[in-house]
Every structure is written in structure tokens, then in C-alpha cells.
A and B are shown apart, each in its own frame.
Chain A
Amino acid sequence: QKEVEQNSGPLSVPEGAIASLNCTYSDRGSQSFFWYRQYSGKSPELIMFIYSNGDKEDGRFTAQLNKASQYVSLLIRDSQPSDSATYLCAVNAFFGNEKLTFGTGTRLTIIP
């Protein structure tokens, strides 16, 4: 079983709709969760991080964490064509260990 799993996609969403990206992780002791956006040919860019159960909002982005079910999701409201990218989920195992484990990413396409 992979440590961090994401649906590879592609996920196609109409412009203006909500894009929902999901990530599950296997280590129940995981503490910190990150979402990165990666445009084709570019390096990953951090867009959200969440440490506590519940929702965290930043502009059009909302990260949701459910530690009991071991999943973290990213919602993108009012999707724009510029949101078309691959979204990587990353998980930090426990405090005191700075290593992140990355999923393989979900490719998101926003259809104008």
C-alpha cells in the first residue's frame, strides 16, 4: 500500500465550478499535511498546509483534514483555467521528523 495515495486523474472541471481533490495516507501518526501545485515543466509551489482536523480556508482554496478517516482534501472554488495543473499532496510523519512523503499527484484540467 502506498503511503500517500492520490487519484492520478485527469480530473476535468468546468470553469467556475468547484474542483475537489482527494488524498489518503496510511500512517495514522501523520501530523502535517500540504498541498502543492505544479505546472507542467515547473517546480512545485506550496498553496496550503493544514495541521488540525477540520477546514482551513485561504482565498478560493479550502483544505479539509479528517485524521480519523486518514484523508485530506483540497477544494478550489470558482475554478479558473489558470488552476489547470498537477496537485501534489504531501504528508509529514510526526513532529521532529522533517521528511515529507509525496503522492504522485492529480492532474486537474479546467475547461473554459
Chain B
Amino acid sequence: DGGITQSPKYLFRKEGQNVTLSCEQNLNHDAMYWYRQDPGQGLRLIYYSQIVNDFQKGDIAEGYSVSREKKESFPLTVTSAQKNPTAFYLCASSKGLEDGYEQYFGPGTRLTVT
């Protein structure tokens, strides 16, 4: 089955620790995205990547880092510099510029930092 997987579903960390969220897709999509969702708010774009080995900052990139070494994978690291890291993190992918802008989401990772 084609799809987007995110792991883990729930993640708990202590303040001051870096944490890496996994996102893998087997849809052969070129573009991948990371969003953050806080209660009662819409999705805010953290980083996105349109091709391997290239990525761009979104609207709220501070305190986050990403890599795109493989087409299928786009991990997100939440660093200790992120002031309010507790949130629902969503990874998405899309076919790319030539084939459509529809984005499809993974199941999400709920991160709690105390």
C-alpha cells in the first residue's frame, strides 16, 4: 500500500533535548513538507523540500532543522532552541510542480516536551 508513515505516534521529551521525527513516503512524490498544528489553529509550514538535497524554510523554521538525503525520507529535528515545541507535527507530500499541488498527509506525531 502506498502512503506516508510517521513515527512515533506519540513522543515525550524533556526540555533541552533534541528530538527527531521520522517521515517516510512510498508514493514516489517529489515534494515533502512539515507542518505544525496547535490547538484551535491552522497548519503552519515549518520546512519543505521540492527535490532531494534541497529544502526551504517555511513560515516558522526557527528551532527546527531538516534533511532530504533520499526522495522517500524527510526527517525533522526539533532542537532545544524551539521555545514551544509541544504540538502536533504533520508531514505531507505532493507529486510536484508538473503533476499537481495536492498534498497528502501522514498520520502525525504528537510531541510533548516537559
Contacts and interface: CB of A to CB of B under 8 A. Distances in A.
Interface of A: 4, 8, 32, 34, 36, 42-46, 49, 88, 90, 92, 95-96, 98-100, 102-105
A98 B94 contact: yes
Contacts of A88: 42-43
A98 B96 contact: yes
Contacts of B96: 98
A95 B102 CA distance: 12
27 contacts: A4-B42, A32-B101, A34-B102, A36-B105, A44-B90, A44-B105, A45-B105, A46-B102, A46-B103, A46-B104, A49-B102, A88-B43, A90-B43, A92-B101, A98-B48, A98-B94, A98-B97, A98-B101, A99-B45, A99-B58, A100-B45, A100-B103, A102-B42, A102-B43, A103-B42, A104-B41, A105-B42
